Amino acid sequence: MSLANFVKTELKNLMGSPATEKYPEGPATYKEGTRGHVVNDMDACVLCGVCQMRCPTRAITVDKKQQTWSIRPFSCIQCRRCVDNCPKKSLSIAKEYTEPDTTKKQFDYPLSDRQKAVLAEQARLAAERAAAALAAKRAAAQKDDAASAGTVKTEAVRGTDSTAGAADKAEQ
């Protein structure tokens, strides 16, 4: 029975089309669900760092001071945790694999000029709000100081200073 199965399989392989694709002659085709490499759309990224916290291999680095997002592709295991947890959905997994190279690379994604302008505008608005809050706090403090100074003056005029009133009651 096994000889009959062997002959059947052998004839099918000889007469049928090849099981592999002719890649160099034609474009590579990737099947649905292929996990190639992580790509970041820096126009949508806000550098929150959720992807860095969720990455089990710590392949992703977010540097808020230098405003960069980077990934070490040899450490990445394409688990999609970063993609699934990104609040702005700026991460995706491309179907293509990374190009082969003789050295290990780290892909750095600096912020785009548009994103830098947005962050600068947010910082300017935050500074304006902080300045307005500080001015309101100073005005309230001055108002409280003026009100407490007026109360002390009226008590002094009436002669109802708390220490003098207590002394008078003690004498009676």
The CATH number of residue 94's host domain is 3.30.70.3270
Assess if residue 6 is contained within a domain: no
CB 51 within 8 A of CB 91: yes
* Band (146; pLDDT cuts 50, 70, 90): confident
* pLDDT, mean of residues 52-74: 91
Domain count, the chain: 2
Q: Exposed (0-12), middle (13-18) or buried (19+): which is 121, by Cβ within 10 Å?
A: exposed
Q: Are residues 122 and 97 in the same domain?
A: no
Q: Is the pLDDT of residue 100 over 80?
A: no
d(CA 49, CA 69): 9
Assess if residue 169 is contained within a domain: no
d(CA 109, CA 99): 17
Assess if residue 165 is contained within a domain: no
Q: Is the pLDDT of residue 60 over 90?
A: yes
Assess if residue 3 is contained within a domain: no
Q: Are residues 42 and 99 in the same domain?
A: yes
* Band (154; pLDDT cuts 50, 70, 90): low
Helix (H) or strand (E) holding 107: strand 107-110
Nearest Cα to Cα of residue 73 among 101, 32, 53, 54: 101
Q: Are residues 53 and 103 in the same domain?
A: yes
Q: Are residues 34 and 82 in the same domain?
A: yes
Q: Are residues 61 and 83 in the same domain?
A: yes
CA-CA-CA-CA dihedral for 137, 140, 146, 149, to nearest 10: -80
* pLDDT, mean of residues 137-163: 68
Q: Is the pLDDT of residue 82 over 90?
A: yes
Q: Are residues 127 and 153 in the same domain?
A: yes
Q: Are residues 86 and 139 in the same domain?
A: no
Q: Are residues 88 and 127 in the same domain?
A: no
Q: Is the pLDDT of residue 49 over 80?
A: yes
pLDDT score, position 112: 74
Helix (H) or strand (E) holding 69: strand 68-71
Q: Is the pLDDT of residue 142 over 60?
A: yes
Assess if residue 100 is contained within a domain: yes
Query: What is the percent of the chain where pLDDT is above 90?
Result: 24
Assess if residue 23 is contained within a domain: no
- Look up tokens 């304006």; give the residue: 128
d(CA 106, CA 101): 12
Q: Are residues 103 and 50 in the same domain?
A: yes
Q: Are residues 101 and 136 in the same domain?
A: no
Q: Which domain holds residue 125?
A: 113-157
pLDDT score, position 151: 61
pLDDT score, position 91: 93
Q: Are residues 98 and 147 in the same domain?
A: no
pTM given for the model: 0.52
